[in-house]
Amino acid sequence: MSEAVPVEIKNTFNRMMNEVVALGSCCGCSMCVVTCPYGVIKYDHDSMFPYVAKPKGDFDYCPISEEVGCDVCANACERLGPERMRPIKPEEIDIHVFGRARREDEYYGVTRFVCAARSTNPNVVANAEDGGAVTEILKCAFEDGIIDGAAVAAPSDKMWLEPVPRVVKSVDELMQTAKSWYTYCATPLALKEAVDKHKLSKLALVGVSCEVSGYGTTFGADTSFISAERGEKNLERQNKHLKQYVDAVQFTIGLLCTETFVFDGFIHEYLQEKVGINPHDVVKVNVKGKVVTDINDGTRIETPLLEARVYQRHQCNYCGDFSAEHSDISAGGVGSDGWTILIVRSERGERIFKRTIEKGYLEVRPASEFERSMKVLKRLTETQRKRADEQYISIGSLRR
Ligand SMILES: Cc1cc2nc3c(=O)[nH]c(=O)nc-3n(C[C@H](O)[C@H](O)[C@H](O)COP(=O)(O)OP(=O)(O)OC[C@H]3O[C@@H](n4cnc5c(N)ncnc54)[C@H](O)[C@@H]3O)c2cc1C
């Protein structure tokens, strides 16, 4: 018997709500909220799922989608592909973002080069997660006028351990936002705030793989997928809304990511109750095969990653993208000590990276000197792709 040919179907709000949100694969990246031209979708920080602002309708009913024709949101969703219950293929996003699909030898996605980088400023290294390369690249972009704002994560007013999306508008503000938070933080919401509220027009977006991939599915693309079935006026509104973000983002930095943790579980049940740490005393968390927690009295507590994995967000099982394959520059620690491993993917990524070196902000070493990191990068890339495949197989979406 011949194999059935998959039927291409339109990306709609209804499909997104059923095949992503209700299915449980929605990562909460917030790109649908950012891109909705009619303000229909709001973000619910507590449940980490977007929800419809029209509570009287069915959860999968959007009047604009059904009666006017829009579905910009569904085209921004990296977990919704043109086949039922399947995500968009990474190679498809490649074409939108880089103008070509990855070659066979590009194991981590489209790549110009891989290297290790570290800030030349010891204060930045001391305050950063790994080598401080992300902070230095953003700093250079601010100073050169390439950006007037960046959408990043930052500590909330309540405690350092709780991240919130933040628009930073200066190098001083940027310096308060280094390090990593391993609970989810929808940084694209800061992109929206930067454009809508602060009227900034030159932005960098920093986020874990699913956050910058969502960018790739739409923003990196031309907006010709938009088709308003009912009239020019709607078409114009949808195009204009989306274009303002497309045009604003100057480059993205994607953080390598295996998983994020549920906030209450990781912070309260795990760190506080199980390990016995007061969350208000934590000044840094790093995950390096184990959970490394730094306390404000200078102590460091190391606990097995396997224990923390109980608190992993289940949505991450649907993610096969370890190395933020659709960012301009990907950054991770992957077993390196005090250095950031960078995968430079695009021309604009290369330009800003080289400029940061030119200004003397980064020292760089070849990837070949970081043999262990390269092995970890390959292993985690493989494991994560397999994990996502297994997850989609388990719901009957992919065949074995
Ligand atoms: C949830 C998460 C999981 C990660 N998992 C891995 C991993 O498995 N393997 C690996 O090698 N690397 C992982 N990383 C990346 C690593 O922790 C560092 O962010 C990366 O190496 C860059 O280091 P740096 O010193 O150059 O960054 P810094 O100069 O310290 O800058 C870090 C930037 O990341 C932003 N940021 C921090 N937390 C978040 C967040 N939750 N969401 C969005 N943006 C954020 C900050 O605002 C800052 O701009 C992960 C990062 C995160 C946030």
Q: Which atom of ligand 1 is nearest to the CA of 258?
A: 8
CA-closest candidate to residue 11, choices 83, 97, 91: 83
Distance CA 126, CA 71 (A): 45
What percentage of the chain has pLDDT greater than the value 90? 79
What value does the mean pLDDT of the chain take? 92
Tens-digit pLDDT profile for residues 110-145: 999 999 999 999 999 999 999 999 999 999 999 999
Ligand 1 neighbourhood includes 335 CB (under 6 angstroms) = no
Q: Is 300 left (phi over 0), alpha (psi -120 to 50) or beta?
A: beta
Residue 167 domain-assigned (yes or no): yes
CA-closest candidate to residue 128, choices 346, 269, 305, 332: 332
Q: Which atom of ligand 1 is nearest to the CA of 135?
A: 29
In the predicted structure, residue 8 carries a pLDDT above the cut 90? no
Q: Which atom of ligand 1 is nearest to the CA of 259?
A: 3
Residue 118 domain-assigned (yes or no): yes
Tens-digit pLDDT profile for residues 207-250: 999 999 988 888 887 788 887 777 788 899 999 999 999 999 99
User: Model-level pTM?
Assistant: 0.96
Q: What is the largest CA-CA distance in the chain?
A: 68
Q: What's the 8 CA to ligand 1 centre distance in angstroms?
A: 36
Domain that residue 266 falls in: 113-205+256-388
Q: Give the residue-averaged pLDDT of 283-307.
A: 96
Residue 165 domain-assigned (yes or no): yes
Q: Alpha carbon of 379 to those of 323, 372, 374, 375, 396: distances in Å? A: 11, 11, 9, 6, 26
Residue 280 domain-assigned (yes or no): yes
Q: Which atom of ligand 1 is nearest to the CA of 261?
A: 1
At residue 283, the pLDDT reads 96
Residue 123 domain-assigned (yes or no): yes
Residue 224 domain-assigned (yes or no): no
Residue 299 domain-assigned (yes or no): yes
More confident residue, 316 or 399: 316
Residue recorded with tokens 């494991």 = 383
Considering only CA atoms, which residue is closest to atom 24 of ligand 1?
132
Q: Is 252 helix (H, G, I), strand (E, B) or coil?
A: strand
Ligand 1 neighbourhood includes 34 CB (under 6 angstroms) = no
Residue recorded with tokens 């977006």 = 205
CA-closest candidate to residue 16, choices 82, 63, 68: 82
Residue 311 domain-assigned (yes or no): yes
Tens-digit pLDDT profile for residues 250-269: 999 999 999 999 999 999 99
Which among 255, 290, 321, 330 is the best mutation to test ligand 1's pocket, defined by most ligand atoms within 8 Å of the CB? 255
Number of domains in the chain: 1
At residue 7, the pLDDT reads 59
At residue 332, the pLDDT reads 98
